[in-house]
Chain A
Amino acid sequence: MSREINIQIDNLITKLHRRQVIGSFNVAIETARVLRNVVSASRWNTVRQLKETVEEVGVRLEAAQPIGKNRSPERDAWSGELAVGNMVKRVLHLIYEEYHALQAELREQNPDGDNDALTDAEQKDELKAAFKQGITEMIDELESSRTTIAATAHDHIHSKYVVLRNCEVNTTAAVLDMLMAAASMLIEVLHYVLSDSEIIMTVGRSRTVELFLKDAAKHRNFQVIVVETAPFYNGQEMAKALGSAGIDTTVISDSAVFAVMSRVNKVILGAHAVTANGGLVAVGGTYNVTAAAKYHATPVVVCSGLYKVCPSYPYDTDIYNLCISPDSVFEFEDDLLDKIDVVNPYFDFISPDKVSLFVTNVGSHPPSFIQRLIQETYITEDSQDIDSM
C-alpha cells in the first residue's frame, strides 16, 4: 500500500478514535471512500491479495473504535460504529461478486482454460475498474439512501390494516413484477381514499426519520408526537425541525409515553444499527417506547439505511452499548459520588419481536427478512470460497 493511502487510513482512524466522525451515516461514507482508494491504489496480482489487503485495512479501522469491541476479537469485531465493519464486508462481497461474474464470463468464452490466476493484465484492469465502479455505486447508494427511504414515506403513513390487505391481494396475484406495480398503483389510489390524520410517535433525532416525515407531509396530513429523549433532548431538536417544516408536532416527556401510546397509530423509529436477527440498537429511551407500543399493539416501523444492517448476532446485548459520562444524569458535585456508581448507557437494544417493519433503501421488510438482506449484501461464511481464488 502506498504511503498516501496509509496516511488516509491513519487519518480516518484518529478521527474515529477522537469521535470527530460520528453517526453511522458519516462513518459509512468515510469508510467507503477510503476503501475505494485502497482498491484503486494498492498493488495486487490476484484477487486474493486484494481481499487480504482490504481485510487488513478493515481490521485496522475497526481496532480504532474507542468503544466496546467484541470480546472475541478474531471475527465479527463489533465496534461502536458498526458501519465500519459493514462497509468492509460489503466491499469484500462486491469483490467476490464481480470476480465470479468475470470468471463465469471467461468460462463461457473458454471452458477448458485455467482461469484461476489473473495472468492477463487487461483482465486485471477490467476487474479493477469493475471494483471501483461497484464501490462508487455503493457510495452513491449510501448518499441517496436517506432520500430513497424518505421517498417511500407516503406508503407507510396510514393504517397498517390497509397495507396488509393490499399484500394479500397481491399475493393472490402471485406475480412478482405485478406485485410491485400493483402495490404502487394501489398506494396511489390510497392517497385519495384515506382522509387520514394519523398520529405518529417518534424518539430522538434521526435524520432519516426527519426526512421521512417531511416527505410524507407533502402527501399526507398527520400529527407527530416526539418523545423529548432525556438526557440529551434530541427529541426537542427533532420537534423543532418538524415544526418548522409545518408538521403538527407535540413534544412529550419520556415518562408520558405509555399514557399517550393508546392514541398513537404508528411508531416510527430511527436506528443506530440493525443486528442480524432483526434487533435494533437505537438511542436510549427507545426501548420504553417499543415496550409500550407492544402492549398497545401499535405497529413499530424502523427506518434504516442498508449500511446500518450489520451481520453480527447480539449474543450479549451489553456490548452493543456505550456507557458515556454520567455528567448528564447526575451532578458531579454530589457528595454521594464515592458511594454509588452511575451508569449512563447511550443506546437501547430492542429485540426483533418489538419491531413490525424495517424500511430500508432497498424496500420494506419484516425483521425476519434481515437475515436474507445480509446474505445478499455482505461477505459471509458461505462466500468464503473466495479464499480458494
Chain B
Amino acid sequence: MPPKKDAAKGLEPDEVLQAVVVTDSFNSRFKPLTKDEPRCLLPLANVPLIEYTLEFLAVSGVQEVFVVCCAHSDKIKEYLRSSKWNKSVLPRVTTIVSQELMSMGDALREMDAKSLLHSDFILVSGDIIANFNLEHALEEHRQRRQVDKNAIMTMVLKQATPQHRTRAKGEESLFILNAQTRECLRYESMEPYPLKRKTLLSTELFEKHPEVDIRNDLIDCQIDICNIEVPALFTENFDYQEMRKDFVRGILESDLLGKTIYTHILESQYAARVSTPQMYDSVSKDILCRWSYPLVPDANLLEGQSYQYSSPHIYRETNVNLSRSARLERRVAVGSGTRVGDRTRIANSTIGRNCKIGANVTIDGAYVWDGVTIGDNCRISRSIVGSGVTLKDGAVVQTGCLISSDVVIGANKTLPPNSRVALSGDADDSLSDTSGGMEAGLVGDDGRGVKWVEEEDEDEDDDLDRRNVELGFIGHTYLPELDDDDESEDESDEEMEEGADDWKREVQQTLARAISENHSIDIAALELNTLKMAMNITFQNLRETVLPALLQQVDVAKPASINAVFKQWAKLVSRFTHGEEDQANVLSVLQHECLENEDHAKVFVHILKAVYEHDVVEEDVLIKWHKSLKGETGTLGKLRDAATPLINWLQEADEESDEDDDEDEDDE
C-alpha cells in the first residue's frame, strides 16, 4: 500500500491523509482521576492512552494528526513535546488548544474555523485502542464518494454480542442499516435506563430499502471517516453537540440535506474505546490477553520500556524485584523498579513502575499506577489506584474504587465498593467543612483524602440518567429488569403515551394557531413538516391529528360550514396525503371520528362530499371504501347508508363520463 500512496501523493500534493484526535471526552466518568490529569494521558497497561490512538493512526498510514485538546491542554502539549511524536515525520503531530470547547461539536467547529483540513479525514477520540486495517474502510469510503457525493461519513463499528465485555455498558446504541449497502438509515441511542421497549420506524424506510438490518450487536467506538463537509455542517448547525445523538440523527432525519452516512462493520480484529472505568477494566484485560496485538505491553510503545512476555500472559520489565514466594498468576504486567513482597498474589492486574508491594497482599483485577506503596496484608480488587497512592498495612479496597493521586488509605481501613477518593474535593466546592468528618470515616485517622463528591452542575446532559453512568463503573452489573415486571411495563407505557401526547398537543396547537391567525397553507404545511421531523412522527400521525381538529371547527348545525372549513384547509391535508393508500387512511380517520362523535355522524355525507370536492380523496377510493363496508351493521352500517347517496351519485356521474368505455366493453 505505501508505494501506491506515494504515487498518489506525487500526483496530488493535497492528498494528505489527515486525522483529528479529540482528547477530551466532555464528561466526568473518570473523576477524580481526571481532576489533575487529562483523560488521554491515563495509563492503560502502563502506557498513556493517547499512545495507542496515535500508534493506530500511524500504522493506518495517516500523515498528519491534529490533537485537539481542551482540559489540561498544557499537560497534553507538554507530553507530546517530550514524546517520540515530537520528532515523528510520519505522521506529523500538531496540537490545537482551545479552552472553550464544551463538546465534540465545538471541537469540529473549531477545526472548521481553522480550515486545516483539506479532504477526507479520520475523526477519533484520544482513547481508542484498535488494530484493524483502516485501509479497507478508507477505500470503501473513497469509492462511495466517487459514486455518491452525498456520502459524507463512514462510521467504523465492531461486531460483538450484546453482553460482550468490551461494550460500554450504559452507552449502547441501535443501528438500522440497509443490509446490502450498509447505509445507516437510523440511529437510536439505547440507554438501559429507562429501558426503551419501542422505537418507531416510518414505513417509507421499508419502501425505499428492500432489506433492512436492525442491529444492536455493534460496538461503536466512534472511529469515523469524515468528509470535509462534516465540520462545515457542524458550523451550520451550531446546536449540534454530540457526534451521534445530534449529528448522525440530525443528518439522517433531515430530508432537506439529503446527505447519507454509511457504516463499515468489522467482523474480526479489535477496536475499543476506553470511555468508562468499566471499559478501562475490559480493555486492559484485552490488551493483557493480546487481543489488541501488536499493541501489547511487550511492543514497548514508550521509549525506554522493556516489557517481555512469558506464559501465561505475564509481562515483566527488567529490574522487577519479585520475592521468591510471590506469585504472578496470570494476565499481569509489572513495571520496572517494582518490588513485590513474600507470599503476595497478583492476577489480572497491571502494576506501574517503582511500586512497593508488601507481603501477603492480594491484588486481583486492579490497575495500580506508578509509585504506589502497598503495605502488608492489603487486599485490592478490581479498582484503579492512582500514582503515588499509599495503602497502609491491612487496607482493603473493594471492587470499583477509583483512588486519585497521592491519597493515603489508613491501616486496616476498608473502602466500600465504588468509592471515589481524592486528596481534596473540587476547588470550587464548599464541601470542605463537612469533609473533615468524611475524611476520618473513609480513609482512617492516619489517612489522607476525602470522598469525591461530584459537582451537581456537571456539563453533562441533564437528561442523563444517573444509573447509566453507574453502569460504567468497574464490576457494576446491569440489573436487566426492575423487581416488579408489570410496574416497569406500565411505566414505560405511560411514558410512551406521554410522549405521544406531546406531539399531538403540539400539532393541535400549531393548527389552532394557523386557523385563528389565518395562515396561508404553505406556512401551515411548513410548520407541521418541521414538527413532524422534530418530534419524529409520520404523515399518518399528522392526518390523525389534523382531521379531527378540522372537524372541531365545523358548526354541526350548519352543513355549509363544513364546506367552508374544507375549502380553506383541504389543501393542507392534501400536502401530507399522497397516493390512494393515504386517501383511504383519510377516510378511515374520518370514519373513526364520526363513530366517536354522533354530531359528526349526522353530517358524515357532507364531510365526505367536502373531502371529495376539495380533491383530498378521489372517487375511486371513495367507492372502494364504500364497497369494503358492505355487510356492516350497527353504527358503521348507518354511516355506510348515509354515504350511499353520494356514492350512487358518483357512480352515475362516472358511468356518464365513461360511457364510451362501457360501450366498448359491451361490444366485446
Q: Is the CB of A73 within 8 A of B306?
A: yes
In chain A, residues 157-176, which have Cβ atoms closer than 8 Å to a Cβ of chain B?
Answer: none
Distance between A7 CB and nearest chain B CB, rounded to angstroms:
8
B430: Cβ under 8 A from any A Cβ = no
A219: Cβ under 8 A from any B Cβ = no
Which residues of B sit under 8 angstroms from A66, Cβ to Cβ? 294, 298-300
B625: Cβ under 8 A from any A Cβ = no
Which residues of A sit under 8 angstroms from B291, Cβ to Cβ? 325-327, 332
Distance between A2 CB and nearest chain B CB, rounded to angstroms:
16
Q: Number of A residues contacting the other chain (C-beta, 8 Å)?
A: 31
Closest to B330 in A: A341
Contact pick for B298, options A20, A68, A333, CB 8 Å: A68
Q: Which of B172-180, B308-316, B450-458 participates in binding chain A?
A: B308-316
Q: How distant is the Cα of A7 from the Cα of B90 in the complex, in angstroms?
A: 12
Closest to B217 in A: A333
Q: How distant is the Cα of A333 from the Cα of B269 in the complex, in angstroms?
A: 11
Q: Is the CB of B165 within 8 A of A338?
A: yes
Which residues of B sit under 8 angstroms from A382, Cβ to Cβ? none
B331: Cβ under 8 A from any A Cβ = yes
Distance between B336 CB and nearest chain A CB, rounded to angstroms:
12
Distance between B307 CB and nearest chain A CB, rounded to angstroms:
9
Q: Which of B21-29, B156-164, B561-569 participates in binding chain A?
A: B156-164
Which residues of A sit under 8 angstroms from B650, Cβ to Cβ? none
Contact pick for B312, options A71, A325, A335, A341, CB 8 Å: A341
Contact with B along A286-328 (1 / 0, CB 8 A): 0000000000000000000000000000000011000111111
Contact pick for A326, options B159, B290, B294, B300, CB 8 Å: B290
Please indicate which of the listed interface residues A319, A327, A328 has the most CB atoms of chain B within 10 Å of its own CB. A327
Closest to A67 in B: B298
Please indicate which of the listed interface residues B2, B159, B270, B290 has the most CB atoms of chain A within 10 Å of its own CB. B290
Distance between A272 CB and nearest chain B CB, rounded to angstroms:
17
Which residues of A sit under 8 angstroms from B131, Cβ to Cβ? 325
B469: Cβ under 8 A from any A Cβ = no
Q: Is the CB of B289 within 8 A of A341?
A: yes
A43: Cβ under 8 A from any B Cβ = no
Q: A318-B310, A332-B270 are in contact. Are A18 and B290 (CB under 8 A)?
A: no
Q: Is the CB of B290 within 8 A of A324?
A: yes
Q: Is the CB of A342 within 8 A of B289?
A: yes
Contact with B along A42-81 (1 / 0, CB 8 A): 0000000000000000000000001111010100000000
In chain B, residues 162-200, which have Cβ atoms closer than 8 Å to a Cβ of chain A?
Answer: 163-165
A240: Cβ under 8 A from any B Cβ = no
Which residues of A sit under 8 angstroms from B309, Cβ to Cβ? 67-68, 323
Q: How distant is the Cα of A274 from the Cα of B189 in the complex, in angstroms?
A: 55
Q: Is the CB of A324 within 8 A of B289?
A: no
Q: How distant is the Cα of A324 from the Cα of B89 in the complex, in angstroms?
A: 28
Q: A18-B58, A337-B165, A341-B313 are in contact. Are A325 and B300 (CB under 8 A)?
A: no
Which residues of A sit under 8 angstroms from B313, Cβ to Cβ? 341, 343
Q: How distant is the Cα of A341 from the Cα of B291 in the complex, in angstroms?
A: 11
Distance between B167 CB and nearest chain A CB, rounded to angstroms:
11
Q: A18-B58, A335-B161 are in contact. Are A341 and B268 (CB under 8 A)?
A: no
B292: Cβ under 8 A from any A Cβ = yes
Q: How distant is the Cα of A343 from the Cα of B312 in the complex, in angstroms?
A: 8
B59: Cβ under 8 A from any A Cβ = yes
Please indicate which of the listed interface residues B159, B164, B285 has the most CB atoms of chain A within 10 Å of its own CB. B164
B612: Cβ under 8 A from any A Cβ = no
B318: Cβ under 8 A from any A Cβ = yes
Distance between B446 CB and nearest chain A CB, rounded to angstroms:
37
Distance between A242 CB and nearest chain B CB, rounded to angstroms:
26
Distance between A4 CB and nearest chain B CB, rounded to angstroms:
13
Q: How distant is the Cα of A327 from the Cα of B290 in the complex, in angstroms?
A: 9
Q: A71-B308, A323-B309, A343-B311 are in contact. Are A333 and B299 (CB under 8 A)?
A: no
Please indicate which of the listed interface residues B269, B285, B309 has the most CB atoms of chain A within 10 Å of its own CB. B309
Q: Is the CB of B311 within 8 A of A327?
A: no
Q: How distant is the Cα of A71 from the Cα of B308 in the complex, in angstroms?
A: 7
Q: How distant is the Cα of A338 from the Cα of B300 in the complex, in angstroms?
A: 25
Which residues of A sit under 8 angstroms from B539, Cβ to Cβ? none
Contact pick for A333, options B88, B160, B285, B311, CB 8 Å: B160
Contact pick for B164, options A14, A67, A69, A333, CB 8 Å: A333
Which residues of A sit under 8 angstroms from B331, Cβ to Cβ? 341
Q: Is the CB of A332 within 8 A of B293?
A: no
A19: Cβ under 8 A from any B Cβ = yes
A17: Cβ under 8 A from any B Cβ = yes
Q: Is the CB of A327 within 8 A of B310?
A: no
Distance between B132 CB and nearest chain A CB, rounded to angstroms:
10
Q: How distant is the Cα of A365 from the Cα of B87 in the complex, in angstroms?
A: 47
Q: Is the CB of A318 within 8 A of B311?
A: yes
Distance between B299 CB and nearest chain A CB, rounded to angstroms:
4
Contact pick for A69, options B159, B161, B290, B308, CB 8 Å: B308
Q: How distant is the Cα of A18 from the Cα of B300 in the complex, in angstroms?
A: 11
Closest to B158 in A: A332
Q: How distant is the Cα of A18 from the Cα of B299 in the complex, in angstroms?
A: 9
Q: How distant is the Cα of A142 from the Cα of B285 in the complex, in angstroms?
A: 42
Q: How distant is the Cα of A67 from the Cα of B310 in the complex, in angstroms?
A: 11
Contact with A along B506-547 (1 / 0, CB 8 A): 000000000000000000000000000000000000000000
Which residues of B sit under 8 angstroms from A341, Cβ to Cβ? 289, 312-313, 330-331
Which residues of B sit under 8 angstroms from A73, Cβ to Cβ? 306, 318
Q: Is the CB of A325 within 8 A of B298?
A: no
Which residues of B sit under 8 angstroms from A68, Cβ to Cβ? 298, 308-309
Contact with B along A323-353 (1 / 0, CB 8 A): 1111110001101011001111000000000
Q: Is the CB of B290 within 8 A of A323?
A: yes
Q: Is the CB of A327 within 8 A of B269?
A: yes
Closest to A330 in B: B291
Contact with A along B317-357 (1 / 0, CB 8 A): 01000000000001100000000000000000000000000
Closest to A344 in B: B290
Contact pick for B299, options A17, A318, A326, CB 8 Å: A17
Q: How distant is the Cα of A68 from the Cα of B290 in the complex, in angstroms?
A: 14
Q: How distant is the Cα of A106 from the Cα of B310 in the complex, in angstroms?
A: 52
Which residues of A sit under 8 angstroms from B88, Cβ to Cβ? 14
Contact with B along A2-19 (1 / 0, CB 8 A): 000001001100100111
Interface residue ranges, A against B (CB under 8 Å)? 7, 10-11, 14, 17-20, 66-69, 71, 73, 318-319, 323-328, 332-333, 335, 337-338, 341-344
Q: A7-B89, A323-B290, A323-B309 are in contact. List 8 more A-B contacts (CB 8 A).
A: A66-B299, A69-B306, A324-B294, A326-B291, A327-B269, A333-B161, A335-B163, A341-B313
The 5 closest A-B pairs by CB, nearest first: A325-B293, A66-B299, A333-B161, A324-B293, A18-B59
A-B contact pairs, 8 of them (CB 8 A): A67-B309, A324-B294, A325-B131, A327-B268, A328-B268, A332-B164, A335-B161, A341-B312
Interface residue ranges, B against A (CB under 8 Å)? 2, 55, 58-59, 87-90, 131, 159-161, 163-165, 268-270, 285, 289-294, 298-300, 306, 308-313, 318, 330-331
